[in-house]
Amino acid sequence: MRDGGHRQPTILVTGVNGQIGFELLRTLQGLGRVVPCDRSMLDLSDLDRVRAVVRELKPSLIVNPAAYTAVDKAETDIDAARRLNADVPSVFAEELARIGGTLIHYSTDYVFDGTQARPYTESDATNPVNVYGATKLEGEQAIAAAGCAHLILRTSWVYGRRGRNFLQTMLKLGAERPALNIVADQVGAPTWANTIAAATAHIVAQGAAAADAHWWARRTGIYHLASAGATSWCGFADAIFATAMAGCTPTVAPIASSDYPTPAKRPANSRLALDKLTATFGLRMPDWRDVLQLCLTG
């Protein structure tokens, strides 16, 4: 991401009212002219307008956390999910390829079917088991086909202090109910949106400081970005209550996924191997328990 050295590069950030986008507005400050993009500025369902805005701004970098993330609703709202998760990143990538810009795009552990025993690497075969995962995979493939410099950052089990997420749901339910049944046979790494935004800024800062004009192109590809360690949804809930509600924690009972049927199937194993991220960018991701503690008490 170079801009001739005479002015700050323009960084377009989408989804700024969402979990990751909100945090990115803070972590990317000082790394360029950050242009926040919310629905009032740009309706992402209007692909012609999306294309026009990119051509008008000519950003050096687009950071795209905007996505259709309602996993169950996506099963019947396929067109809307595909528009946000595949078509929009495709337009971004096509336009950035024209002007030599870079795209940082966030994807998901749900591109995998979750059947293997070990953590998934970036080169493992994808096989999504729900519409959300399938449309996110389509987005990955469209970006790669467009030919722009890009980083696709797959993350997992994202939560934060704002928005709808597992943490906020548990805090609400834990205050209302003395006992909860939580799925225990799905395993992944709870990842704070702030952690994702901080890691992204670390990468962007490296790119901005690089003397190599092809720095981004040489690192183009898919990377897994999540907390270290793993737990189940039940374990995550236990940790939330132990940290945030000491002395008045609800009873948490583990249940199987089959006991809590949902419209969309979820992968049993969502663990992501982080070796490539560390080797390429020097990022060592913190353990999910330490991050949760910081989120709730820091």
- Exactly one of 120, 132, 159, 223 is catalytic; name it: 132
The whole-angstrom separation of Cα 291 and Cα 298 is 9
Q: Reply yes or no on whether 120 is catalytic.
A: no
Which residues carry out catalysis? 132
